[in-house]
Structure formats: structure tokens, C-alpha cells
Chains A and B, each alone.
Chain A
């Protein structure tokens, strides 16, 4: 393996790792930093950024897409430039007024409790040993598990005010190495290390718009943290949580949300079952996006939507929201990807950047 360097991205001031031979674009996209780009091989110049510090190999950047005088002025094509030293770039990234930019740190903890939430989702509570974790509701952490090479991402379900007890909801992915370990091997009292917080999924409070949370299965974790955080902060605009699961046995934390909804007039809680069955259920039936369409008569303009769940749920929900006149700038999401999900995803065009 080649040398490893540090890459700092302005104006967001985030520092990530980049390896020798890896392009700036690749390193950024892998860390969730979206840079404008199109052709991906040095011809179109959509990904031009300023190199503030450091030295790069321009790689396959075309001399028309990146002129000599631009190279002299410190411009680089992110899709082609590879590091020869630590780098600092300035890219065309919007500063989000609601982003807190908490630093990423390693945390050591001990498993305080493991509880079955549904037949295939376990709640895992981890008590942090050292310092408390600072994060924004909606963000995730990477969990380091013994014997499993790559750390796995899980959204934080606890609100930021509970900064010593991390709560994670872990669905057992069939054949999944990490989730299998958590379900079958992990025990209360085990030491565990986590890194975070990561992600750009957080509430855009400054918009002061009614909120729609669409959650699928274990995707309830982020909305739970967000709703608790909003209520603690005195949020007074309407918010609706639609939580989609397959059967009545898959519903969890319904008492918590029903209780919150009873105490806060601005919170509406709608659990919904997607699988047909004969057992009695007084609540909603259908997929999350169908329930949302019924709930709002297919009109979503003026809201801000937060989507959290598996890719199919996200895809269907985005389509419903956009058909209901809610567009990219008002939709935020966290996709829960497992190895199986990436294979079947449909090809995408550059029409949308985030959704």
C-alpha cells in the first residue's frame, strides 16, 4: 500500500484521509463530501477546485479542461488529481447554516444493555468510558467489532443531550457478518470502540418549516434522536413521523412515540404495516410513501422531509414527495445500505445531487 496523506476541504474545514494514487474526488465522495463532478476522467472540468496547500499529480486531466495557466494558479481537477503531500483544497461546497461540524473522535465504551426490539432488531446501549460524544441528532457512528475488518455504520438513536449512553438499533441482515456478530455474540459488559459522529443528516431548524419524518424499519433511530432533540429545544411547528414496518410484530417504541404525541400537540405519530395479514390492526396499512400520500393528500409543498431507511423505501418516498411538489432542496436522507442493496440499484443521471 502507498503512502497516506491528509486532505482538508474548505470551506467546510473537514479533514479526511487520502491515499497515494487515490483521486481527491474519490476520497471526498467516500467520506460523504459531495463535490460537483460529471465526466469523472479529466475532460469536462466540472470538478475544478482550488489547491490551497500541497502538491498533486494532475493525472489524466486534459490540457483543455485544465489549462496550463490554471495549473500555475493552483487549480486542480478533483477527479484526476492525486496527492503527493498533505493537501488543502477549497471546493464549491455550500455551508449549511445548521451544520455544527462536530469533530470526529474515537470513543471507548462498554455494552450496558442489549434488548430485543423486534424479532430481527436489537437495541444496543453503550456507555462511554471517557469523554462524552458531541453530535447532531441524525448523525451516525462507526462501530469497530472484533475480527471484522471494516467498521460498520449505525445511526445514533439517543438525543445529543444523552451524550454518555449511545443507543443503536441493529437489524440482523441475513448473512451479515457485523449484524450477525451483534445479534449472536455481543454481550452486555463487552468493551466496544466507536468513531464518530459522521454524516450530513441533521435537522435544518433554521428553515422553520413543518417536518415530515419517513422511517423504514430500523431507520427509526435517527428520527427518534431528532424528535427528542427538537422537543427538548421547544420546537413548535407541526411534525409527523411515519414509521413503516412489515407486520405488527415489527413495530417498536410505539409507546414512546404515542406518549410523546399525546403530550405534544405538534407531533403526529403514524406506524404503518406493509405486509398483509389477518391479525387485527387499527393503524395504517401500506408502504411508507403510500401512507404519506394519504396523510397529506399527496401535497407536500412547504415541508422539510427527513427520510431514513432502506434504499427501496427512500426511492419510492422521494418520488412521492416530488410528485407532491417537494423537491431536492427540501429533502434530506440517510440510506441504510447493506452489501446486497448496492447491486440492484438503478443507474442514475446527474440530474439530482443528493436525492
Chain B
């Protein structure tokens, strides 16, 4: 039986019914009817001029209408949801502030993870916002465009709410006051900065694969779960609440990433090798940024959640394995160099923390040597090799501190041309040898920390020869001057307050005063 239903404003919809079952119109059809005609083919300007960035990456799209808008969310509904999330979060932040929530954390050292997050990650949330705004502007499909626009707004919200959440700590602790300036200037922050600079200067399809898929889907759990669980384990309810508020957006982000990559792969088989290279590249780029997370988990959290190794097993090997098992159906393989993280999983965080310990005078957070108990935890997590190779190093540095000769490295390190990490990481198959790779391009030699980074450079050398490398810039006199003090001033690092060891820092004094007050009240 064929039925005609007349709906006000919408017109006539034909519906087929069988067996006298009355069916409603599906949500999908309702949305289609609501939004029909809101996208159009341009007439007095060619489409190619209106969407100029969509063609140059070599991605072939046969039919834009094949993109399946998975959300079907109107802006009206979007604003209502986000406004309510804000109200909830800011109520918690008010209560945090009124109840001196900062005194409830496990230890003053914990705040250093927030410094790393605010200077390293929050500005990249803002860059993610810009990247999705670019995708939203450039993609000639209404569903993808509106999804990208909403995600751009989400990322802006994340940046703002992170700043406001962690801003609570800025009233009491050092190193949080100039996060934006530091992000643009400080040597180690060029690692996350260059990651997102690379992404937002790519075309819209590469950005979707780099951030929408590789980062939001494959690696995001390795970034946010450690920080947010770390906050929960260490009594930081403000950051935990931010985490919940952001996580409610993540489902949309992950879904968009998956729908986008499926769409690109299904549109044309010529897209498969292009996407494969992007997955290879952004897996490796993302993994290098995660070095900072590994270090945070294993060395900086007063109360540990799990080791970097456990996190890698759960969030990459298990979850990523399932994903790549499914992607294999498109002919996509596991990222190139995927075996390397497993080879260096036992030492990544230790090598990173060792760099920061040596360069504590140039860091915007405090450092310390692991205690005996913490070293026992590391050796239990990473096995006898950790005791053999790294415990003696920390014991040696401890001895030097005792003798009044705390070790500082005053030479500027060589940086990898791609990921910008100091070249202090070792060969995947030999933890006693530092890894160096290089390529000669137009008569200049460029240096890399790994095969992964060299591979990225060799594929697009014109892009990476332009890299702003902090050490080169210091030597060229572009960073405030030739002395450490001048460079720190230019960075916005307050000497003797923001940098150096936790022991003896103003942060430690503040924390000890709070502890003493608690002791007096309790006693």
C-alpha cells in the first residue's frame, strides 16, 4: 500500500508501508528534509575557485554526496549542549576556587604536569580549532563542513576551558603565567607546536587524516587518558571535570575521523597510497609528541596511574590493532615503523626525563631525580635492563647533587629537523647508541632522530627545510641574545622561580607551608 502524507511546511512525502505497520520517518530523513537546499553548486563562480584547496593533494572524490553525515546536529542544538557543559564545568571551577582545591592535590610536584599540559597541549587545541575551521571552509560537502565547523568550535572551547581550569593554579604556582608566549618560543615546546604547524599547513584532506583520524582516533587516548586519569589519581578535581566536559565531545570527533577516512578510501583506489603515507607520517609525528606524555606518566605524577608501557599496550596495541585489522580491508597496513615504539618502550620516558633533568635551567617546569621507591617502580615496570642501564645514571646524578655539583648540560642540543626533539634518543635495537640519520638536500645536510622522521622529510623536503628550530634560532641571535639569561627572558621564564629543580623552588615552599598549616590544624 502506498500512502501520501502531507506535512505542514515540508510538502508531500511518499511512504511505502507494508503489513499495515505505521512507520515514522527516520531521524535521518527528517534531518534531510530540514536541511535540504542549504548547500548548492555555485553558478557565477566556478566551484574550483570557491573551494581552491580541495584539489592539490591528489585526493579523488567521485561523489561528494556519498559522505554520510553521522551527527545531523543543528547549530541550535549544538549551542544548547555546549552552553550546558560550560555551566557545569564553571560551577565546579567556582567551587574549586572557593574551597582551595589546589591544596587537595597529592603533592606540589603534580602541578608540573599541568605546566607541561598548558604550555604544550592547550595552545595546540587552539591550533586544532584553526585546522578544522580551514577544513570546514574548504570542503564542498555540507555534512562534512558543518561537522568540521562544530569540531572547530569544540577545540576552541577545549583551549579556553583548559586555560580557565589550569588558571586556578596560576594564582599559587609558578610557570603558568606566559603559556602562550612559551609555546611559541621555548625549545621543547616546539615539539608539539611544530606538530600542529605541520598539520594546519597541510591540505584539508591531510589535516582530516592527520588530526581527525590519526590523532583524534588512534592517539588521543594516549594523550588525554594519562593526563585526566593522572589528575583524578592526584586529587585535581578541576582538571578531571574539564576532562569529562571535553570527553563528551570526543565521541563526535572520533566518529568524524572514522567517517572521513572511510569516505576518502572508498571514493577512489588511487587515494589509498596517499592516505597510507599520511597514516605513516602522522602516526610517527604523533608518537614523537607522546614522548612528553610518557615522561609525564613515568616521572612526573606523584601518584602513578600506569606505566607508559602499559598505556601503549592498552591504547595502541589493543585498540589500534583492532582498528588496523579493519582498515586492512581497504588495503591499509599498519603504519611504517610501528615496531619501533615497542622496541624503545622501556626507555622512552627515561631518556626524555634525563634530557629535562640536564636542561632544568632552560625548562618552564621543575625537575627532580626519582626517589629509590620510584626507581623500584620503574624497574618493576621496565625490567632488569632499566636497573642495568639507567639506575646507575640517576644514582650518579644523585651523588653529584650531594657533593654540591648538580649536573647541568650547558651545550645546546642538536634537534631533529622534523619532530624537533633533541637528538638524544637511542637506536631502536641498541639502547647504548644515540640514533642519528641525515639527508643531503640541495647541498645542505639535515639531521633526524629516527628513520620515521627522515622518511617524512625525504617525502616533502621543501616543507621541512623551513622548520623553525629553536637551537638554530638561538645561534642565529633571534631569541633575545647570546646568554642563557637573555634567552630565558625572551622565553618568558622567570629565573629561579619557573625553572630549576623542585627542591628549593618557590613552589616547594608554598606546598610545604600548606602542609605545615594542615599539620597545625590537625595537631
Q: Which of the residues B18, B27, B325, B331 comes within 8 Å of A349, measured between beta carbons?
A: B325
Within the assembled complex, what's the spacing in Å between the Cα atoms of A247 and B258?
Answer: 41
- Say yes or no: A102-B19 contact (C-beta < 8 A), given A43-B247, A90-B24: yes
Query: Which of A67, A97, A100, A351 is packed against the most chain B CB atoms within 10 Å?
Result: A351
- Interchain nearest-CB distance for B70 vs A (Å): 8
- Asked whether, in the complex, the Cβ of B321 is within 8 Å of the Cβ of A347, the reply is yes
Specify which chain A residues have a CB less than 8 angstroms from the CB of B81 in the assembled complex.
67
In the complex, which residue of chain B has the Cβ closest to the Cβ of A69?
Answer: B84
B251 touches A46 (CB 8 A): yes
Q: Which residue of A lies closest to B27 (CB)?
A: A92
Q: How far is the CB of B89 from chain A (nearest CB, A)?
A: 8
Q: Which of A147-155, A262-270, A321-329 contacts B (4 or more CB under 8 A)?
A: A321-329
For the complex, is B25 an interface residue (Cβ under 8 Å from A)? yes
> By DSSP majority rule, is chain B's interface helix, strand, loop, or mixed?
helix
Known contacts A347-B325, A351-B326; A101 and B18 CB within 8 A of each other: yes
**A44-79 interface mask toward B, CB cutoff 8 Å, 1 = contact, 0 = none?**
111000000000000000111101110000000000
A-B contact count, CB below 8 Å? 104
Contacts of B72 in A (CB 8 A): 92
B251 touches A38 (CB 8 A): yes
- B23 lies within 8 A of A323 (CB): no
Q: Which of B247, B266, B331 contacts A44 (CB 8 A)?
A: B247
Contacts of B244 in A (CB 8 A): 43, 62, 64
> Is A92 in contact with B28, judged by CB distance below 8 angstroms?
yes
Q: How far is the CB of B76 from chain A (nearest CB, A)?
A: 13
Q: Taking the nearest CB of chain B, how far is it from the CB of A74, in angstroms?
A: 14
Interface residues of A in 22-53 (CB under 8 A from B): 36, 38-39, 43-46
Majority DSSP secondary structure for residues of A touching B: loop
Q: Answer yes or no: A16 CB below 8 A from chain B CBs.
A: no
Q: Which of A38, A63, A101, A319 contacts B254 (CB 8 A)?
A: A38
Question: Are A101 and B19 within 8 A (Cβ)?
Answer: yes
Which residue of chain B is the closest to A347 with respect to CB atoms? B322
Tell me the minimal C-beta distance from A92 to chain B in angstroms. Answer: 5
Interface members, chain A 87-141 (any B CB < 8 Å):
90, 92-95, 97, 100-103, 134
Is A352 touching B23 in the complex (CB atoms < 8 A)?
A: no
| A85 shortest CB reach to chain B, Å | 21
Which residues of chain B have C-beta atoms less than 8 A from A94's C-beta?
Answer: 26, 28
Given contacts A43-B247, A95-B23, A349-B319, 16 further A-B contacts (CB under 8 A): A11-B26, A12-B23, A44-B247, A64-B247, A65-B248, A67-B81, A69-B84, A100-B18, A101-B21, A319-B329, A346-B322, A347-B318, A348-B322, A349-B322, A350-B258, A352-B326
Give the 9 A-B CB pairs with smallest separation, nearest first. Answer: A44-B251, A347-B322, A349-B323, A11-B24, A322-B329, A351-B326, A64-B248, A349-B322, A67-B84
| 11 contacting pairs across A/B (C-beta < 8 A) | A10-B24, A11-B23, A11-B24, A13-B22, A13-B23, A38-B254, A43-B248, A44-B247, A45-B251, A46-B251, A323-B329
B residues whose Cβ falls under 8 Å from a Cβ of A = 16, 18-19, 21-29, 70, 72, 80-81, 84-85, 88, 244-245, 247-248, 250-251, 254-255, 258, 262, 266, 269, 318-319, 321-323, 325-331
